[in-house]
Structure 1
Amino acid sequence: MNKFMEFLEKILLPIADKLNNNRYLTALRDGFMVALPLIIFGSIFVVIANFPFLDRLIGEEAFAAYQEALGPASAATLSIMGTFVIIGIGYNLTKNYGLEGIYGGVVAFAAFLILTPQMVDGVSGVIPTSSLGAEGMFVGIFTAFIAAELYRLFVQKEWTIKMPAGVPDAVSRSFSALIPITLTLSVFLIIRILFSFTPFETVQNFIYTVIQEPLTVLGSGLPATVFAVLLIQIFWFFGLHGQIIINSVFDPIWYALNDQNLTAFQAGTELPNVVTKQFIDTFLVGMGGSGMTLAVIILIFLIGRSRQLKELGKLGAPAGAFNVNEPIIFGLPIIMNPLIIIPWLLAPVVVTVITYYSMLTGIVPRPAGIIVPWTTPPLLSGFLATGNQWQGAALQLFNMFVVAAIWWPFLKILDKNYYENENKAEKK
């Protein structure tokens, strides 16, 4: 095992160093770090607002009022997290060039707003919240890169207004940024106008069509499910909300299969489908969030030596128990981290195959079509999703051991790397 870990360190650490020195990937990573405290705040209140079966304890009317009162916490953070990431990317990339980072951040966000359709239900001048959140992240990331680069280009060409000596510094900087910002935003306005003459009408529609149409040819079954799960992990690795992107295509299929199982369950007949919405939500996502990171949190408590991982484990455990894992995704980090790409991609695929064949062969009952709240903790969710069968909980427990086994050597390397860096920092 030690030789295997040394081999991984020899292969993966140089790759990590190269990626860490890439200004675009660094800006992307640091852009997500800007959003991290806001994401954690929103995640905590998502859990509080969605305690399983609370509606049955206090009544549906009281539960609705309770959720409405807490809703703004996540609506103002998680629901528009794309805005913070876009500003963070623009800021950090511009600052990397030695320029005023704040102008790079605001021009990136303004460029994104120019490209964003500003109409909801026929009412103009209204920006849909979904466009500012995870759904708009794909467009937002590329917009931030391009806007920051254009702003940098115009500044370095000295297409700026130079104010005379004696003018306050803040005023001078604002006028210096005026022409570069105007030219940058004009480019994005032209792009928006050009797309309005195409069948796509907007940049967002173009991106969604390019991503989604190839996926619609896929159906149900193990190959399609493995492919969908793998895409979710890949999108998350690059900072995109894989669950939202893939669910928008597969949810109609998964929900239809779910309804078929529910009908059969209520009739007392054999359940026809293995893969359903609850197959995904309970036995994959419902084990700590995308990537089943509850097992990773448990592993951190068992083997972690670095302060960074120990504190992250304490921070991520409460949310992870209710399948909210943004603290782990952005804090480990998982995004753009080559040290963990293998377990991040491999573990969900292995668990998908194990779960599929466990149910196909009858070792574990198939999902009964019961919609279990996604914040229901693992083991309880597996029990409920299979029609109150203990085998569902047992399968989740077994799968967590599988995930932990796959992650162990890679997390050990990451922890060792953090631990050594912390010791070097203390000696300076």
Structure 2
Amino acid sequence: MNTFMEKLENVLMPVADKLNNNRYLSALRNGFMVALPLIIFGSIFVVIANLPFLDELIGEEAFATYQDALGPASAATLSIMGLFVILGIGYKMVEQREGESIYGAVVALGAFLILTPQVVDEVGGVIPTSALGAEGMFLGIFTAFIAAELYQHFVNRKLTIKMPAGVPSAVARSFSALIPITLTLAIFLLVRIIFSYTPFETVQNFIYTIVQEPLTALGSGLPATIVAVLLIQVFWFFGLHGQIIINSVLDPIWFALNDQNYQAFQAGEELPNIVTKPFIDTFIVGIGGSGMTLAVLIAIFIVAKSRQMRELGKLGIGSGVFNVNEPVIFGLPIIMNPLVIIPWLLAPVVVAIVTYFCMSIGFVPRTTGVVVPWTTPALLSGYLATGNNIMGGVMQLINMAIVFVIWLPFLKIMDNQYYENERTAK
């Protein structure tokens, strides 16, 4: 067992280290973190705008007026979340190079807007909001990477205007960025012109057809989801933050799928996707943290005889309710503990399969595109993520029961060992 663990560690640790230190994935991850408060703000108002039974209480006409009044909150955040991600990525890319990061943000945004179609129903000068959301997500990510790199390259080549001493620093920085930004945006304008003569007509159509659509279709399936969940658990087992590593790669796909559901929900249409960002965060991670350890803590309270286990339960339950589970991960412990590797890997995978099946048959509604804050307690988070539907909370309760059953025999074995050790020590 130890030999196998050592071999697995030797394979995974270098991979995880490279992923963690990759500056593109780091900028992507941090770019989404920049956008997250705005995404959550919009999600909160989607929930408020769709409170259950409110239309029956105040009447359909008043309810429509109420929704119209709150609509801009989500339209200005969730519907155009791609813009905030682009700004975040451009900022972080240049910040990594110790450059003027604010210009990294604006050049990334400017390059994206140059490549974005500006015609709606043959009316020019109008940008469709869909192009600023899910459809434009991958184009925005690639554009932000390339634009920030080009900008910083021109800066490093000293292609800047130096103002004389005494000129205010804000003015000097603005002129210093003028040539690098001009050259960068000119390149993207040339790319737009070239693509206008191709069958795709726009870069966005090209990216969506060649890259985003196939990747999104792959990421929306159960097999890819199982692999992602399993890798999160494996990385955590070796002491690496599995969520950060895997989310860096898959968040663009999961958020794009989520935005598709949100657009369908707003239009009153059938929700197209089962796997979304909230599917992962709310029904797997959001039940006590990675590994769904809230159910583990409940099992500890029920079966634990050893003082070590009981103290761990008391220490972890408060934070576990809000999906913070470091006390369990480091206190049980889970990291590098062969006694827990089977339930640690198995339980989230089983939960992912069961949840996917229940949503596919309509037992539980699919997630509506609302991004629930990750500290929201279980049952409430499931209710909110499924459009204020109680079955979302029921699904989380079922998932907790699955984790409880899988972990119980292993916890009993560990607890007996700890109890015997404590008796021997007396």
Please indicate the TM-score interval, normalised by the length of the shorter structure. 0.5 to 0.7
- Please tell me whether the aligned partners of residues 89 and 141 of structure 1 are also in contact (alpha carbons under 8 angstroms): yes
Matched, 1:226 2:219: no
Matched residues in 1 for 2:359 and 2:95: separation?
A: 53
Q: How many residues align?
A: 340
User: How far is the alpha carbon of 1:19 from its aligned partner?
Assistant: 2.9
* Structure 1 residue aligned with 2:50: 50
* Structure 2 residue aligned with 1:98: 98
The residue identity in structure 1 corresponding to 2:280 is G
- Please tell me whether the aligned partners of residues 114 and 189 of structure 2 are also in contact (alpha carbons under 8 angstroms): yes
TM-score scaled by length of structure 1: 0.62
- Please tell me whether the aligned partners of residues 138 and 212 of structure 2 are also in contact (alpha carbons under 8 angstroms): no
Matched, 1:59 2:59: yes
User: How far is the alpha carbon of 1:134 from its aligned partner?
Assistant: 3.0
User: How far is the alpha carbon of 1:397 from its aligned partner?
Assistant: 3.5
* Structure 1 residue aligned with 2:158: 158
- Please tell me whether the aligned partners of residues 108 and 148 of structure 1 are also in contact (alpha carbons under 8 angstroms): yes
**Cα distance change, pair 14–78 in 1 and its aligned pair in 2 (3 A):** same
User: How far is the alpha carbon of 1:102 from its aligned partner?
Assistant: 0.8
**Cα distance change, pair 395–159 in 1 and its aligned pair in 2 (3 A):** closer
Measured against aligned partners, the alpha-carbon deviations of 1:295-346 in whole angstroms (never above 9, x if no partner) come to: 53332484699x9x977964x89xxxxxxxxxxxxxxxxxxxxxxxxx9998
The residue identity in structure 1 corresponding to 2:98 is G
User: How far is the alpha carbon of 1:393 from its aligned partner?
Assistant: 8.4
Matched residues in 1 for 2:385 and 2:254: separation?
A: 22
* Structure 2 residue aligned with 1:189: 189
- Please tell me whether the aligned partners of residues 34 and 85 of structure 2 are also in contact (alpha carbons under 8 angstroms): yes
* Structure 2 residue aligned with 1:23: 23
* Structure 1 residue aligned with 2:282: 293
Matched, 1:170 2:159: no
- Please tell me whether the aligned partners of residues 295 and 404 of structure 1 are also in contact (alpha carbons under 8 angstroms): no
Matched residues in 2 for 1:246 and 1:372: separation?
A: 8
User: How far is the alpha carbon of 1:70 from its aligned partner?
Assistant: 1.1
**Cα distance change, pair 231–10 in 1 and its aligned pair in 2 (3 A):** closer
User: How far is the alpha carbon of 1:197 from its aligned partner?
Assistant: 0.5
User: How far is the alpha carbon of 1:10 from its aligned partner?
Assistant: 7.6
Once the two structures are superposed, the pairs formed by residues 205-224 of structure 1 within 5 Å of their partners are 205-211=205-211
**Cα distance change, pair 357–32 in 1 and its aligned pair in 2 (3 A):** closer
- Please tell me whether the aligned partners of residues 116 and 127 of structure 1 are also in contact (alpha carbons under 8 angstroms): yes
- Please tell me whether the aligned partners of residues 83 and 109 of structure 2 are also in contact (alpha carbons under 8 angstroms): yes
Matched residues in 2 for 1:151 and 1:344: separation?
A: 45
**Cα distance change, pair 349–63 in 1 and its aligned pair in 2 (3 A):** farther
User: How far is the alpha carbon of 1:168 from its aligned partner?
Assistant: 1.8
Matched residues in 2 for 1:5 and 1:405: separation?
A: 25
User: How far is the alpha carbon of 1:402 from its aligned partner?
Assistant: 3.8
* Structure 2 residue aligned with 1:83: 83
The residue identity in structure 2 corresponding to 1:240 is P
Matched residues in 1 for 2:227 and 2:129: separation?
A: 24
User: How far is the alpha carbon of 1:64 from its aligned partner?
Assistant: 1.3
- Please tell me whether the aligned partners of residues 160 and 179 of structure 2 are also in contact (alpha carbons under 8 angstroms): yes
* Aligned counterpart in structure 1 of residue 251 of structure 2, from 223, 229, 239: 239
Measured against aligned partners, the alpha-carbon deviations of 1:375-395 in whole angstroms (never above 9, x if no partner) come to: 79758999x99xx9x9x9876
- Please tell me whether the aligned partners of residues 86 and 141 of structure 1 are also in contact (alpha carbons under 8 angstroms): yes
Matched residues in 2 for 1:371 and 1:295: separation?
A: 14
The residue identity in structure 1 corresponding to 2:131 is S
User: How far is the alpha carbon of 1:11 from its aligned partner?
Assistant: 6.6
Matched, 1:122 2:122: yes
**Cα distance change, pair 33–372 in 1 and its aligned pair in 2 (3 A):** closer
Matched residues in 2 for 1:368 and 1:401: separation?
A: 17
Matched residues in 1 for 2:77 and 2:47: separation?
A: 14
- Please tell me whether the aligned partners of residues 160 and 177 of structure 2 are also in contact (alpha carbons under 8 angstroms): yes
**Cα distance change, pair 31–215 in 1 and its aligned pair in 2 (3 A):** closer
**Cα distance change, pair 230–204 in 1 and its aligned pair in 2 (3 A):** farther
- Please tell me whether the aligned partners of residues 200 and 206 of structure 2 are also in contact (alpha carbons under 8 angstroms): yes
Measured against aligned partners, the alpha-carbon deviations of 1:228-266 in whole angstroms (never above 9, x if no partner) come to: 7569988884331436449969x99xxxxxx9xxxxxxx
Instruction: Tell me the secondary structure at the aligned position of residue 106 of structure 2.
Output: helix
* Structure 1 residue aligned with 2:36: 36
- Please tell me whether the aligned partners of residues 282 and 385 of structure 2 are also in contact (alpha carbons under 8 angstroms): no
Matched residues in 1 for 2:177 and 2:108: separation?
A: 13
Instruction: Tell me the secondary structure at the aligned position of residue 78 of structure 1.
Output: coil
Matched residues in 2 for 1:204 and 1:69: separation?
A: 32
* Structure 1 residue aligned with 2:203: 203
User: How far is the alpha carbon of 1:138 from its aligned partner?
Assistant: 0.8
Instruction: Tell me the secondary structure at the aligned position of residue 252 of structure 2.
Output: coil
* Structure 1 residue aligned with 2:74: 74
User: How far is the alpha carbon of 1:200 from its aligned partner?
Assistant: 0.5
Q: Where in structure 1 are there 5+ consecutive unaligned residues?
A: 219-223, 253-258, 260-275, 318-342, 361-365, 409-428
**Cα distance change, pair 151–2 in 1 and its aligned pair in 2 (3 A):** same
**Cα distance change, pair 145–294 in 1 and its aligned pair in 2 (3 A):** same
Instruction: Tell me the secondary structure at the aligned position of residue 197 of structure 1.
Output: coil
Q: Where in structure 2 are there 5+ consecutive unaligned residues?
A: 230-245, 298-311, 325-342, 371-378, 409-426
User: How far is the alpha carbon of 1:116 from its aligned partner?
Assistant: 0.4
Matched residues in 2 for 1:193 and 1:122: separation?
A: 18
- Please tell me whether the aligned partners of residues 379 and 396 of structure 1 are also in contact (alpha carbons under 8 angstroms): no
The residue identity in structure 1 corresponding to 2:180 is P
Identity of aligned residues (%): 58
Matched, 1:107 2:119: no
- Please tell me whether the aligned partners of residues 138 and 208 of structure 2 are also in contact (alpha carbons under 8 angstroms): no
The residue identity in structure 2 corresponding to 1:239 is D
Matched residues in 1 for 2:26 and 2:364: separation?
A: 43
